[in-house]
């Protein structure tokens, strides 16, 4: 059993036939899914979808790309949506200074607002951080006290950065990027993360892992390739890794 802790099952083309996507996933042992919201409307879709499928849960959030559109009314609506019993975290939220689709002050404002919602509702937070590691940590250090939990998803930083997150009690999640030939830095970071802080995800429909990197779209069934590599990097059997990563995900997200 594995849980895909970060997927986008509301995104095209996966949303066209979610039942078939989940069937292929179950056939290879990926039997739980957390579909992640990236805007108010997408978060609504994620909650609705999660309510239709056993072992599927949702997060609600406004991605830093869309922070410019996050009015106070939108954030209030997000807070109310997060009260659903299918919602297990706030996010994805954070900072993306690679694309800067939203101005950095807007990203910081909306990130801080998400942390406050998470604190109010006693939910963990799913962090997106790209080209903004120091700034993300600065806001978490200033505003993150009392959070239920923090996970940096799709982690591609260094082992030293991973250690800074671990020192703060945070979790780290890896995608199929760790299987890419040029991902030595990410693989070194895996070595720094203990199994009880490590989760695995697809971030589908993006970033199919090797050896199926050319397969588009990515989907939860393909996560077995990432899990296989992570098990080897951690020096444990596939079964041990599955047990550990599932237990970590259940504990972090409060899953049954």
In the CATH scheme, what architecture does the domain 2-253 have?
Alpha-Beta Barrel (3.20)
pLDDT, residue 11, reads 98
- At 53-66, the pLDDT tens digits run 999 999 999 999 99
Q: What does the block give as tokens for 78?
A: 């997000």
Q: In the chain, which ranges are E strands?
A: 2-7, 30-36, 56-60, 87-96, 125-130, 150-152, 171-174, 198-200
Q: What is the DSSP string of 123-138?
A: --EEEEEES-HHHHHH
pLDDT of residue 111: 98
Average pLDDT over residues 146-170: 97
In whole angstroms, give the CA distance from residue 176 to residue 192. 18
Side-chain-side CA neighbours of 34 within 13 Å: the count stands at 30
Both tokens assigned to 223: 């996560």
**Mean pLDDT of the region 105-116:** 98
128 pLDDT above the threshold of 90? yes
Q: At what angle do helices 159-167 and 184-192 cross, to 10 degrees?
A: 30
User: Of how many residues is the chain composed?
Assistant: 256
Residue 76 pLDDT more than 90?
Answer: yes
Give me the percent of the chain exceeding a pLDDT of 70. 100
Which of 243, 173, 196 is closest to 2 using CA atoms?
243
Kindly state the average pLDDT of the residues 149-171: 98
Edge-to-edge, what's the strand order for the sheet holding 198-200? 2-7, 30-36, 56-60, 87-96, 125-130, 150-152, 171-174, 198-200
3 state SS of 167: helix
* Cα–Cα distance for residue pair 92/152, rounded to 1 Å: 9
Neighbouring C-beta atoms of residue 234, cutoff 10 Å: 18
Q: What is the per-residue pLDDT for 141?
A: 97
Residue 150: pLDDT above 90?
yes
* % of the chain exceeding 90 in pLDDT: 99
Q: pTM of the entire structure?
A: 0.97
Q: Quote helix, strand, coil % in the chain, to nearest 5.
A: 50, 15, 35
Q: What is the mean pLDDT of residues 23-52?
A: 98
Cα dist. 25→71, 198, 214 in Å?
37, 21, 18
Q: What is the pLDDT of residue 256?
A: 87
With bands split at pLDDT 50, 70 and 90, how would you rate the model's confidence at 73? very high
Mean pLDDT computed over 26-43 = 98
CA distances from 87 to 83, 109, 185, 244, 254 (A): 7, 23, 33, 23, 10
pLDDT, averaged across the chain: 97
Name residues whose C-beta falls within 8 Å of residue 103's C-beta, 6 or more positions apart in sequence. 67, 68
């Amino acid at each position: 059993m594995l849980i895909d802790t970060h997927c986008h099952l509301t995104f095209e083309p996966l949303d066209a036939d979610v039942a078939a996507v989940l069937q292929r996933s179950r056939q290879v042992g990926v039997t739980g899914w957390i579909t992640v919201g990236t805007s108010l409307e997408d978060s609504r879709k994620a909650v609705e979808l999660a309510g239709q499928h056993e072992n599927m849960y949702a997060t609600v959030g406004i991605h830093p790309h869309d922070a410019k559109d996050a009015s106070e009314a939108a954030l209030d609506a997000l807070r109310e949506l997060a009260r659903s019993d299918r919602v297990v975290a706030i996010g994805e939220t954070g900072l993306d200074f690679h694309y800067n689709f939203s101005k950095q002050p807007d990203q910081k404002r909306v990130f801080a607002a998400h942390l406050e919602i998470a604190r109010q509702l006693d939910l963990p937070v799913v962090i997106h951080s790209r080209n903004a590691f120091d700034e993300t940590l600065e806001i978490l250090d200033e505003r993150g006290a009392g959070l239920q939990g923090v996970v940096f998803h799709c982690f591609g930083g260094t082992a030293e950065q991973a250690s800074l997150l671990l020192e703060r009690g945070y979790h780290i999640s890896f995608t199929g990027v760790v299987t890419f030939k040029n991902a030595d830095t990410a693989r070194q970071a895996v070595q720094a993360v203990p199994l009880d802080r490590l989760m695995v995800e697809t971030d589908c429909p993006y970033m199919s892992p090797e050896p199926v990197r050319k397969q588009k779209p990515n989907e939860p069934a393909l996560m077995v390739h990432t899990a296989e590599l992570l098990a080897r990097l951690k020096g444990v059997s596939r079964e041990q890794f599955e047990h550990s990563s599932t237990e970590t995900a259940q504990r972090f997200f409060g899953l049954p």
